[in-house]
Amino acid sequence: MRADRLVAALLVLQARGRVTASELAEELEVSVATARRDLGALSSAGVPVYAQPGRGGGWSLVGGARTDLTGLTEGEAREVVWSVARAMSRGSVSPELRAALRKLVRALPEPMREQAWAASGSVVVDPAGWGRSEGARPEVLGVLRRAVVSRRVVRLVYGERREPRVVHPWGLVEKEDVWYLVAGTDAGRRTFRLDRVRDVEVLEAAAEHPEGLDLGRVWDEVVGEVERRRSPVGATVVVDPGLVWVLRRQFGRHCTVVDQEQARVRVAAHTSRSVAEQLAGWGALLEVVEPEAVRAELARIGGELVARYG
């Protein structure tokens, strides 16, 4: 990701004081042309980077190798940290970049540091979707991002309700292409789908967070609760041990290995018919042990196929 490289380039400049485009390209394992573009992008964004032409020249940070990166505005610092935090949540960031993010935040001026740290833990990316969206980014996302990072209470109008409600934002979740706000309310933790938020206002009051809040862990709890409600019907199947991983990949978190030695697996969906439809393509590669309702649905599907195709 380009945001990753920009962070890394800043840290290289801070450590060395001056580098050529070819030296930076070698360090970041990119082409020289890409390194030049990244350096130019840093300069255009307001980072105090300048080029010195001629023999012995190169790119430097104004103020020397130990600059505090004051060329980054508060919004720019938040955007860089936010971009890397999203990549970290996807699991696509190396341990080295995680360390680089911590160094970058420590290098920021004191007024920016707290918000940068808040941004780094305020977003989760969950690639498994629940439902379709319009594809466009919700208009309220920018406002809620600022509220989350600055830890401000928000008043929002949600869904069909006419009365606004006051909530304490904890963080934002990008689940496939749908955004959610996880927040505290008078009734406890709640989750709001952003494309159903009709109006939002950031208030001056400070938002309250649970002590030791881990947004990723909280979101796992939310997903678990929703999935239990969405998939109340389970079935026990026996499959070849070498194919268990395929079944787990198909059903995701709705698949649990009950007995590893016998390759007995528990799968779930919202109805008996849905379970049967997802298992029908396996044919004789697996056997549904129970419940009888799923076995009956499989028999019905099999009868329809025989009637159609002989």
Express each pLDDT in 235-279 by its tens digit.
999 999 889 989 988 887 788 898 888 889 999 888 899 999 999
pLDDT of residue 305: 92
At 116, is the pLDDT very low, low, confident or very high (cuts 50, 70, 90)?
A: low
pLDDT of residue 123: 76
Whether 223 shows a pLDDT value over 50: the answer reads yes
At 202 the three-state DSSP class reads strand
| The one-letter amino acid at 96 | E
Whether 66 shows a pLDDT value over 50: the answer reads no
Residues 94 and 144: beta-carbon distance below 8 Å: no
| CATH top-level class of 231-309 | alpha beta
| CATH top-level class of 2-115 | mainly alpha
At 108, is the pLDDT very low, low, confident or very high (cuts 50, 70, 90)?
A: low
Is CATH 3.30.70 what the domain over 125-219 is classified as, yes or no?
Answer: no
The residue among 12, 14, 37 whose CA lies nearest residue 108 is 14
At 1, is the pLDDT very low, low, confident or very high (cuts 50, 70, 90)?
A: very low
Domain-wise residue ranges, the chain: 2-115, 125-219, 231-309
pLDDT of residue 67: 42
Q: Exposed, middle or buried, 242 (CB in 10 Å: 0-12/13-18/19+)?
A: exposed
This prediction's pTM: 0.54
* 26-47 tens-digit pLDDT: 877 788 888 888 888 777 766 7
**Which two three-digit tokens encode residue 185?**
């309310």
Q: Residue 195, Cβ neighbours under 10 Å: how many? A: 17
**Which two three-digit tokens encode residue 122?**
């305020």
| Residue with tokens 């032409």, as numbered in its chain | 53
pLDDT of residue 70: 46
Q: Exposed, middle or buried, 36 (CB in 10 Å: 0-12/13-18/19+)?
A: middle
Q: Give how far Cα 50 sits from Cα of 19, 43, 45, 67, 273, Å.
A: 11, 7, 12, 13, 65
| Angstrom distance (rounded) from CA 89 to CA 248 | 22
pLDDT of residue 113: 61
Residues 152 and 211: beta-carbon distance below 8 Å: no
Beta-strand relationship, 188-193 and 197-206: unpaired
| Angstrom distance (rounded) from CA 68 to CA 108 | 6
* 117-145 tens-digit pLDDT: 666 667 777 766 565 555 566 888 888 88
Q: Exposed, middle or buried, 118 (CB in 10 Å: 0-12/13-18/19+)?
A: middle
Whether 289 shows a pLDDT value over 50: the answer reads yes
Contacts of 68 (CB under 8 A, 6+ apart): 107, 108, 109
CA angle 49–51–57, rounded 5-degree value: 130
Kindly report the average pLDDT of the chain as a whole number.
79
